[in-house]
Structure 1
Amino acid sequence: MKRAKFLKKISGIGLIPLVGLKAYDKVDTKPADQLRKELNAAWQRSEKMTLTSMEQMPPECYRFKYTNEAMTFSEQWRHCVIYTCGQLASRTGITNPYKHVKLPVQMPKEEVIGEIKKMYAFVRQTIEELSSEKLFSNCDFAGDVIPVWRLLYALENHIIHHRGQCVVYLRLNGQVPKGYYGW
């Protein structure tokens, strides 16, 4: 508090400088129901954009990869399903729906889309069912300690990364990505 008083005195403009000092991670004053609403909106938009991208790829191109070292289009999405569900379950203490499921490395278009839909349903269910205490509690992630609500944004960011790769896969297969821009 000494720092805040010092800044207030030297600024001569009252509490305005203190607004910028509020740490981003301390947003836990936001009501849990409003946060759930925001998280659900973000994940619903993510699902729509993901499915739009997936549906554009012709079924015969789901095994496409641009180099031997790269994942196929199908594997990109399989990876998102396994990673998202695994990270969310392990960091919140809930049951991973893929704990005892071994997804094939290559899956046809319809199956991959089905698994992606299950993943998004799992995330939405988790957002609704996590207690407020758990939602605002901290977890370890990527060498840092973050609130669980922020983990949900980090996991969506991971999907954005792979969706971006898949846009390139679409273009390399002569497909012009639709509906990718805008939030």
Structure 2
Amino acid sequence: MKNLIKGICLLLTFSFTIMEGKAQDYFQEEYPKVWERTTAYSRTIAESMPEQLYNFKVYQDGMSFKEQQLHIVGNISFLCRHITGEYKNFYSRDEIKGLSKKQVLQISDVAFSYVADLIESTKPSVLSQKVMFKGTEMTKMNIFYLIRSHAIHHLGQSIIYLRMNDIEAPEYVGW
């Protein structure tokens, strides 16, 4: 009976190891393409808003359109730190008001490219490493999913800003 239980445990461990490897393979094969589409969608939304409306706010205490775009970038810094252990700062918060649309687009391009490079360079063994995030243990691979989820959340808000200004929102291309 002991040998049977040991055998079942060994088989389960082996099965979970294979499934984890397949998930990592899938991530490394598919996620770069998903991130590329997210990057293009983000850029299209940011380009759609005229520069004179970059400071538009839906309500007084909310973020402006510009701040929405830079908040996505700030979150990239915050979440990537959980993958790399280093905080990469793409802009100074003190400069936000003076940043032009072109500068915001450049900052976003650099941040989104940083994530793309990080996706490509992160080894499978690192993807499966566990980190604590807001009291929850998760893999570093899951942090990449959080980066995209957060970006899409704020891009959705940005679409509302466009529509409130009678600007046609770009078609979603996240698949």
TM-score normalised to structure 2 length: 0.81
Taking the aligned partners of 1:129 and 1:95, their CA distance within structure 2 comes to: 15
CA RMSD, aligned part only? 2.4
- Aligned AA (2:86): T
The higher relative CO (CA closer than 8 Å, separation ≥ 6) is in 2
Larger deviation, residues 162-171 vs 146-155: 146-155
Unpaired stretches in structure 2, ≥5 consecutive residues: 1-14
Deviation at 1:60, TM superposition (A): 0.3
Instruction: Check if 1:52 corresponds to 2:37.
Output: no
Are the aligned partners of 2:57 and 2:64 in contact in 1 as well (CA < 8 Å)?
yes
Percent of aligned pairs with the same residue? 25
Quick one: which amino acid aligns to residue 133 of structure 1? S
Identify the match of residue 175 of structure 1 among 158, 164, 167.
Answer: 167
Residues 11-70 of structure 1: per-residue CA shift (max 9 Å, x gap) = xxxxxxxxxxx99xx942216454222121111010111111111101100000011110
SS of the residue corresponding to residue 52 of structure 1 reads helix
Q: 2:28 aligns with which of 19, 27, 36?
A: 36
Q: Distance in 1 between matches of 2:111 and 2:140?
A: 17
Measured after TM superposition, the shift of residue 93 of structure 1 is 3.0
2:69 matched to which residue of 1?
Answer: 77
Contact 2:68/2:154, CA 8 A, preserved across alignment = yes
Q: Deviations over 1:130-173 (max 9, x none)?
A: 22211111111232111111110111100011000000000111
> After TM superposition, where is structure 1 displaced by more than 4 Å over at least 4 residues in a row?
none
1:53–1:180 contact (8 Å) kept in structure 2: no
1:138 to 122, 130, 136: 130
- Local SS of the residue matching 2:56: coil
SS at match of 1:50: helix
- TM-score (structure 1 length as normaliser): 0.78
Q: Output the amino acid matched with 1:96.
A: Y
Tell me, yes or no, if structure 1 residue 92 matches structure 2 residue 92. no
1:154 equivalent to 2:151? Answer no
Aligned to 1:3: none
Distance 2:121 2:173 in 1: 31
Question: Among residues 85, 96, 103, which one is paired with 1:105 in the alignment?
Answer: 96
Which consecutive unaligned segments of at least 5 residues does structure 1 have?
A: 1-21
Q: Which residue identity lines up with residue 97 of structure 1 in the other structure?
A: K
Larger relative helix fraction: 2
Alignment: residue pair count: 160
